Structure 1
Amino acid sequence: MECGGLTPLFVAHHPWAPHSESLLSLLNQNWRGSLIKRFPFAESKNIEFRAEFFNLFNHVNFANPINNLNAVPATSIDPNTGRIINPGDFGRIISTSNNPRLIQFALKLNF
């Protein structure tokens, strides 16, 4: 979603409205946090130290299952009977949808 070339900071989320994600994505957890400490050294100046954490608890969020009914390769069908030997990947969850825990540090001079 773009607004004049800018990405909005907050977007209204309607969890039960139809969208491209399944209801399983409502269970995703992504905890973020930061610690900030300011050290004043003059009347209007300070040094700010920040530690920012993304996926703080390193929680794994699984991607949505494969929803393509035609995900059965042609080699999985018995040519004599026409039966499916290997059901393919339909309904399988084969990946994760988030990054591992990330930590970044910053030191900033405010004046």
Structure 2
Amino acid sequence: MRYILDSRIALRSWQQVPYAYYRKGSPYAKGLKKEEFELLRSCDGKREQEADDLLETMAARGFIHPCRGEENLTDWQKYRHCENRYFPKVNWMITGKCNYNCLHCFNAADNAHP
């Protein structure tokens, strides 16, 4: 039987996080075991899969489903390997005049000159 990734799942890898996935709507990637990741990479809707416990587990967890007709992975879903480390968010301070005193800010500093 052929399986394909669920439309809400995308596979990614980075230097420090080689086996990961995004679930649509979540800003953070989550790790996978190597064997889970390799199985999911092979679930492209084109290759036949032999039934086993891991395949059934990943289907039950909502990562994959049996391919219905000619389903294809979207560009967002297709596996991407990035040569950099994994950075979920970056904050830029561009004014150079910040007094680090805003209630919403994560920086903790006194009111010294920058």
Shorter-chain TM band: under 0.3
Q: TM-score, normalised by structure 2?
A: 0.22
Q: TM-score, normalised by structure 1?
A: 0.22
In terms of fraction of residues, the more helix-rich structure is 2
Flag the structure with larger Rg. Answer: 1
| Larger relative contact order (Cα-Cα within 8 Å, sequence gap ≥ 6) | 2
